[in-house]
Amino acid sequence: EDAKSVSTYADAVRAGMDAGLAASGGMNADYIPYLASIDPNLMSVAIVTAGGEVHKAGDHDYGFAIESISKVFTLALVMDAIGPDEVRDKIGDSPTGLPFNSVMALELNNDKPLSPLVNAGAIATVSLVPGESADDCFGKILACQSAFAGRPLTMSDEINTSEQSTNFHNRAIAWLLFSAGTCYSDPMRAVDVYTRQCSTLVSTLDLATMGSTLAAGGVNPLSGKRVIKEAYVHHVLAEMMMEGLYTGSGDWAYTVGLPGKSGVGGGVLAIAPGKLAIAAFSPGLDPAGNSVRGQAAVKAAALSLGLNLFRGA
């Protein structure tokens, strides 16, 4: 913990793999049938720097469900469309202190989601994506995800069908939002599009590239294309710092000190602003819904590079 020795990116990826493989105890998400069936031994780590350098190890090509990490990129899309002030006003900007799919968090705050990175806030964010139809809105989201990744991403029909046929809890959340005036489109359309955006397939390398676009101030370092206004990137990162790992966000801030985001598909992403992004993947989750091995891997890689924002230069 105390040693702040700075290793090479290749060493950091290796340190991440080692720490990930040494961690144990996670369980695949089982409330989405598809996710329960993924091989729990899959493990990978990738780093993409703001200058476009790529380092990767393990099953870095394996395509998994982006799940809640999608919330980050749709937030970026909506911020670009309506501006950060309206996002804060309509959704909120603070952590909930409750699980990612909490209904109680809504009741405790007059049905305002608080954070765009929990399910309620993410469904409200999706409801703000401009578009005439569900297909239209999802098309914009997939194009945005693809721009962040620097290649055309696709949605998995199998994952989407698995989630659409079991997402009753999220539909309940959307109706609660709608009744309080905090869902800004048809609520079932918002859940449909939200569920599709969670079913996009990404590799660990895609995820690291998506993160590196935020690290580089909104320009994808591999494609060279601007994806989000530079002036909005730090707002997205602030939300990740506060709520990116749900009830694990405190531990994450305390030990890693970087904005992060997890998904129940097993992905974990961390951003070192101005420098790089680290992504890791392994399906086993802790009770908060964060990949056990993914967290260990990102934590070890970040530590080996001395990236904690709160430790200064």
Binding region for ligand GLN (CB under 6 A) = 67-68, 100-101, 119, 163, 170, 198, 263-264, 289
Nearest to residue 268, comparing CAs of 293, 235, 301?
293
Least Cβ distance, residue 83 to ligand GLN (angstroms): 26
Least Cβ distance, residue 119 to ligand GLN (angstroms): 5
Alpha-carbon distance of 161 to 157, in angstroms, equals 6
Whose Cβ is closer to ligand GLN: residue 67's or residue 243's?
Answer: 67
What is the CA angle 101-166-161, rounded to 5?
120
| 232 labelled ligand-binding | no
| 115 labelled ligand-binding | no
Whose Cβ is closer to ligand GLN: residue 220's or residue 291's?
Answer: 291
Max distance between CA atoms of the chain, in angstroms, equals 54
Six token digits for residue 195? 């569920």
Alpha-carbon distance of 201 to 150, in angstroms, equals 14
Whose Cβ is closer to ligand GLN: residue 9's or residue 62's?
Answer: 62
Least Cβ distance, residue 54 to ligand GLN (angstroms): 25
Whose Cβ is closer to ligand GLN: residue 92's or residue 267's?
Answer: 267
Alpha-carbon distance of 150 to 147, in angstroms, equals 5
- Residue 187 identity (one-letter amino acid): P
| 163 labelled ligand-binding | yes
| 110 labelled ligand-binding | no
Whose Cβ is closer to ligand GLN: residue 79's or residue 198's?
Answer: 198
Least Cβ distance, residue 273 to ligand GLN (angstroms): 23
Least Cβ distance, residue 239 to ligand GLN (angstroms): 15
> To 10 degrees, the CA torsion angle through 131, 259, 228, 130?
10
| 170 labelled ligand-binding | yes
Print the SS3 string covering 129-154.
Answer: CCCCCHHHHHHHHHHHHHHHHCCCCC
Least Cβ distance, residue 263 to ligand GLN (angstroms): 4
Alpha-carbon distance of 134 to 141, in angstroms, equals 11
Alpha-carbon distance of 116 to 88, in angstroms, equals 9
Alpha-carbon distance of 289 to 271, in angstroms, equals 19
Collapsing DSSP to helix, strand or coil, 44 comes out as: strand
Whose Cβ is closer to ligand GLN: residue 116's or residue 289's?
Answer: 289
What is the CA angle 64-68-72, rounded to 5?
115
Residue list for the binding site: 68, 119, 163, 170, 194, 246, 264
Query: Annotated binding site for substrate: which residue ranges?
Result: 68, 119, 163, 170, 194, 246, 264
